[in-house]
Amino acid sequence: MSPQKVSRENHPFRYERIAAEVMRLIEQGAYQPGERIPSVREMSKQQGASVSAVLQAYMQLENLGAIEARPQSGYYVRHASDTEFPEPESSSPGLDPSHVNLHDLMMMAMRDSLNPSLVQLGAAMPNLELLPTERIDRIMASLARSTERVSHHYEIPPGLEDLRVQIARRAVMNGCQITPNDVVITSGGVEGIHLCLYAVCNPGDIVAIESPMYFGTLQLLEVHNLRALEIPTNPREGISLEALQFAIEHNPIKAVLTISNFNNPLGSCMPDEKKRELVSMLARYEIPLIDNDVSSEIYFSEKRPMVTKAFDQKGLVLQCSSFSKDISPSMRVGWVSPGRYKNTIEWLKFTTSAATARLPQMAIAQFLETGGYDHQLRRIRREYANNVAMLSQAVMRSFPSGTRVTRPTGGFVLWVQLPERVDSLEVYALALKNNITITPGYLFSPSNQFPNFIRLNAAVWNYPIERAVRRLGELVAESAG
Ligand SMILES: Cc1ncc(COP(=O)(O)O)c(C=O)c1O
């Protein structure tokens, strides 16, 4: 391979030259679809370039849809069929804030998710087969036997110290310098976000959000009577910083709410440098950032994305997370690292629900301590990367032309843009008649930005689901006329 062939004028950065060279080799067929390209280390040796330059080049090629990362395996040239449907473009919501009024739709979606006779492509439920449920059950049983009622005490805020120690240790390992005293345990991630909104906003205030945004969070804005200002968001790289800055300069924004790692439903992941810029921009305006971080452990590339909290120098980032997606949603154990709002969050937690149940906190602390978590996460990442790829390929095979599909690099949902004239609520009703649930795009925007989008859950992949996706494709084609 001769890097000289790619000119310095067109590609001033080293990583760009490497990306352009690999792209040229793919186009000339030197690397075939499905074939593994040299590992980051091999390429760095071949090119005499740093590992980080090669990583950046591979990230660029991933963004272009030319290659894909497969966990614990390497980088592969994508098949032409994988790139058949383009990705949705960045969203372009209006400039005015909206009140949220989604509770009826939300309750409808919630009821569907409880119906075991439906093929569940709607709710973003994790795959229970991949969670360490047996291990957690055994730990709980043994704790319940051995702790002589200790597990029945109130565990008042900030929550179980052993668990906070484990959370802080993992954060530090991931480059985020927090201590156990910086953490407040909550009853799931949603309670954490609820407390953060309570701490930093008053009714009527404006909160800037990514567009689209997970409907559970939109519900919180509705309950708090806050107005949502939707900011254009890119399906790969998250919220537009230029648009956010413009919004801040023209509105009294009280807080910004993001899912910087693997937005639900987009699967977008804000590049680490962009996270740094976001945090420093908000610090200049003294605006708090509530970052919903429930999915950042479920990444498909080789490296865990940073968290915005790692760049927080003024205590303005309130990071919310939980163990719902990778240990058990029913434990209801989450946490907040609320920076300068720690005392307020502790107080609000106490006044809202007094305490989070102690036994699940003890069980999760022990699970984290005894070392099974990383093994568990590696398995989840591998399986979800595969299931997301299988689902998106099935959509590409079955849905009509004019469809667009995201290329998530983590999490387990797929965001599908249907042809313009298709209404997602109509597809929802047709799907239900066929015993299939989906989540209509209406739920992800208070101002109906996504009438022809649907979100699909990719946590499970099996034959009934494959069949359901095929049927869904037929229904969308019918609806598209
Ligand atoms: C983006 C996002 N945030 C929060 C939650 C809820 O988290 P928890 O169950 O820990 O309250 C979900 C669950 O689907 C989610 O997808």
Question: Strand 404-405 vs strand 74-77: parallel, antiparallel, or unpaired?
Answer: unpaired
Reported CATH class of domain 3-83: mainly alpha
Mean pLDDT of the chain: 93
Span 101-127+375-480 CATH architecture: Alpha-Beta Complex (3.90)
What is each CA distance from 372 to 98, 140, 144, in whole angstroms? 44, 15, 20
CATH code for residues 131-373:
3.40.640.10
Out of 137-151, 252-266, 321-335, which region has the weakest mean confidence (pLDDT)?
Answer: 137-151
Domains 101-127+375-480 and 131-373 share a fold: no
Residue 218, ligand 1, Cβ within 6 A: no
Task: Strand 413-417: give its sheet, edge to edge.
Answer: 404-405, 413-417, 453-457, 439-440
**Tell me, what's the pLDDT at 254?**
98
Question: CA separation (Å) from 5 to 51, 259, 337?
Answer: 21, 40, 49
Q: Is 327 in the pocket of ligand 1 (CB under 6 A)?
A: no
- Residue 365, classified by CB atoms within 10 Å of its CB into exposed (0-12), middle (13-18) or buried (19+), is buried
Q: What is the pLDDT of residues 409-455, one digit of tens each?
A: 999 999 999 999 999 999 999 999 999 999 999 999 999 999 999 99
pTM score: 0.84
Which atom number of ligand 1 is nearest to the Cα of residue 332? 10
Does residue 185's CB lie within 6 angstroms of at least one atom of ligand 1?
no
Residue 8 has pLDDT above 80, yes or no: no
- Rounded to the nearest angstrom, the distance between the alpha carbon of 118 and the centre of ligand 1 is 21
Give the span between the Cα atoms of 455 and 364, in whole angstroms.
30
Q: Ligand 1: which of 221, 261, 291, 325 to mutate, most ligand atoms within 8 Å of CB?
A: 325
- Domain segments of the chain: what residues? 3-83, 101-127+375-480, 131-373
Residues 6+ apart with CB under 8 A from 48: none
Does position 300 have pLDDT exceeding 50, yes or no?
A: yes
Distance 327 CA to ligand 1 centre (A): 13
Ligand 1 center to 166 CA (angstroms) = 21
Ligand 1 atom with the shortest distance to the CA of 263: 1
